[in-house]
Structure 1
């Protein structure tokens, strides 16, 4: 119970133990303690709260995940996102499925994720998909706890460039969003957040004008002919090139869509790896480090660092051709 004072009057409120759609705690007005109805009203509210709490504590993690996957919010996700969430939420259910959802604590999730330390990428997906389910459940009033609160994602190490087969798979994917996203990532050498924020109005004079969020650098990137062809397949609008608001949820949606297609084909990738593919492609094409940096927006030192993963085979062939010409 809490007491509030307004305009010289004191008011009393009861904590229902529930939250609204914005996650804010719901309080209900109580009669004044001097009022004869106070005791009966307080007892009734307390009884309702206790009954709700009992129901919540009997809701298992497995049932919570099942409810989430049957929800309208889940149904509106892209099919690729749903497949990936089901995959990693199944790991959460396998380890904690019978536990009361309301009683799961942060330390329980930390222990679970630490046991997956040899698979940091999978651990991060369990955190994201499980956290999404709990966030939905809190808004619906099914639980009030947040066992995923401020758990940092694991370091997955330095991102590797995509295998050539994975790159070609996504550049020719039937999924329009995946194909468009990969074309933009690869042919601009930018981060996924910057690509997600690109708008049609940023395309001027046959180039994309962007300001990198991380560095603040303004870049004018000429359109590669393959990117120009891909953009021509899509209708222009006053919004972003890739549909959806450029927020973290959009970045995750795009990331999951690409990873799902690649995972199903046996490839393990992260979107940021495409920056290495792009940098290496520019260098292998004979571009200088300065020319490459003008596209990627990186420092010359970072370009040289990325250059370590250039294809020795391609460079060897190029070197031999130049040698033979002399």
Structure 2
């Protein structure tokens, strides 16, 4: 039998099952009414209830007993009777609610990180974030809460902030995002009296060189469409001809027959996107048409989810089974998948193919931005190689136009005459 906390008593019933209760001042004139506890001491909730019992207060009243839960800060929260209406379940729910309310009250009074994070999440600055951005913010806000939740925001120093950022340095992209969210939160808090200044602003910026995604080569497309499972094909065409992210490609609704555009809401930005359907893509959609509301289907006719597609993609490229064992594939397929892996051809690279094709067709950066839902700055980043090719082609065209004069200047009049 484990050692029980003070005032906690266990007793068996006739069948031998143990029952536990909190019985303060038992056997004395000051004895409190019994507070029932959980039956299983192995349950972590049992020990939490025991700790909560230490903060209980009780006193006699004209009509019985008055109970309360008293926090470490001295705040008192009234409670129902443990054997009253609703029984112990209602009593312990009230204790949990009092504990949660005290954390909030205490956090607001001391202006803690927990209180600031809760407040921030009720504001338009947070609510207007796109769903995917909000998901990333939540992940880093949780890390901030774990690090300093109960501490006053004003107690954070630049040194402590830098140490927390450095702990994330094994993933530079994550460290950079953590620093950005922390800085955003502190700026929000400084303007509302939680701290005097944003100490994260002067922390060291995280150096993070992003490797650009490679556009797929003709050979990569040939290897993929010849050897990858058929259920993976149509999403690749959709990404190539629409330029959208995988998170928007996989859930696409099948356009009606004869539709001239695909319309969707970009999950990253929340913006409405209108993508005219290219004639070749229209032919692919016509040939693969199935009466199903979803556009992208597995071989068994069920709609792909993004998670399932990514898993299937990974297994296909690595030639692994669902259990991680090597799959039985032909040597030709194994070689093709290795070529795709070694070439770092990933799904997101198709987005760069789409941008490049649009630019090479003469579209402006603003026009490309509207189609693929990407900032013009990012379009310019994506199109550096395209611009190099444009410059090279233009320079060669100009050289061709003035070649006779250039040749004469280089090699003299005799060379020009010989060339006739």
TM-score (norm 2): 0.38
The one of the two structures with greater contact order (alpha-carbon pairs below 8 A, sep at least 6) is 1
Q: Which has the higher helix share?
A: 1
TM-score (norm 1): 0.47
**Rg bigger for which structure?**
2
